[in-house]
Every structure is written in structure tokens, then in C-alpha cells.
Amino acid sequence: MKKILIITFSLLTIISFSQEIGINIGDKAPELSYENPKGETLNLSSLKGKMVLIDFWASWCRPCRIENPNIVSAFVNYHDKKFTHGNGFEIYSVSLDTKQNNWIKAINTDKLFWEYHVSDLGGWNSKGAGIYQIRSIPSNVVIDKNGIIIAKNLKGATLQRFLKENLIK
């Protein structure tokens, strides 16, 4: 019995460490670590334990600005809820802006009042967008409490439906 437990533990350890980092559903999401508008570094991994929407957007992107009210609604309705994939819902916004003033103005105008806004101000050369191979915006990735990608490009009613379906009742 002791040997079975040791073998089982060893296999579980190997499986947990062998999780592939990538950008496909089922992969461990690549780490992102960029500065917020105040110059503080915010790491995606600091949100472990929560379900997280990684949102790629920009102030100059009209479709992004049209989608922002849907994202605000999702945050308001689900931020403090418990999910099968995490305790709480957070948004990690990655801006593809090149001008900090425009980025901050859009955050305020669109009432994007969550804490996790980051950018390297690289525009389409944003390192985060490159890591996730973002070719158009708005784009997003949903990760679970363990940082595993569980969905991609959920917008509007589809995002709301996904969140509702994954609530713990």
C-alpha cells in the first residue's frame, strides 16, 4: 500500500510539473508582468485562485470601446462570485496603446474600475500581445484558478453566459 501511495504521488507530481505552457485551451497560460498606469508591476500569476479574463484592448480601438460595457457588466455581476474554476472573477487588462494619457483617459471614460490594467505602451509590438499571438483586438483569454486556459474570445452575451454556467450554485 505504501508503494502504491508513493508511485501515485510521484505520478501526480510529474503530471503537475509537466503542464505545457502555451496559448491553447488546456495549456498553462504564459506569465504576464507589466506596469500599471502608476508604474507598479502587476503579475498575472498574482491572481492565482481566481478565474481571470485576460483582455487585450486599446483606447483607439472602436470595437474594444464598444465591448467595454459588456466587460464592465461581467465584472460588476461576477467579481465576488464563486466558480467551478476559481474563487472570484478578475480582469487583467492588457492595453495595446502607445500613449499613456490616451490609455488612462479610456480607463476613466469607460469606467474600467478594476485594479489590473497593464501596458508596455508598445502598441502592436506589445510583448504581451506577442506572447499570446494576438492579431486583432478586442481579444481575450479566460484562465482558471490554476492558470490553465479554459476559453478564448468570449464577448458580449457569450461571456455572460459562460460566467453564469460556471457559477457554483
pLDDT for the residue numbered 169? 77
Strand order in the sheet with 116-118: 116-118, 89-95, 51-57, 139-143, 149-152
pLDDT digits (tens, 9 = 90+) for 29-52: 999 999 999 999 999 999 999 999
- pTM value? 0.88
Phi, psi of 18 (to 5 degrees): -95, 5
Three-state DSSP class for residue 85: coil
What residue ranges define each of the domains in the chain, with the CATH number in brackets?
Answer: 21-165 (3.40.30.10)
Low-confidence ranges of the chain (pLDDT < 70): 1-19
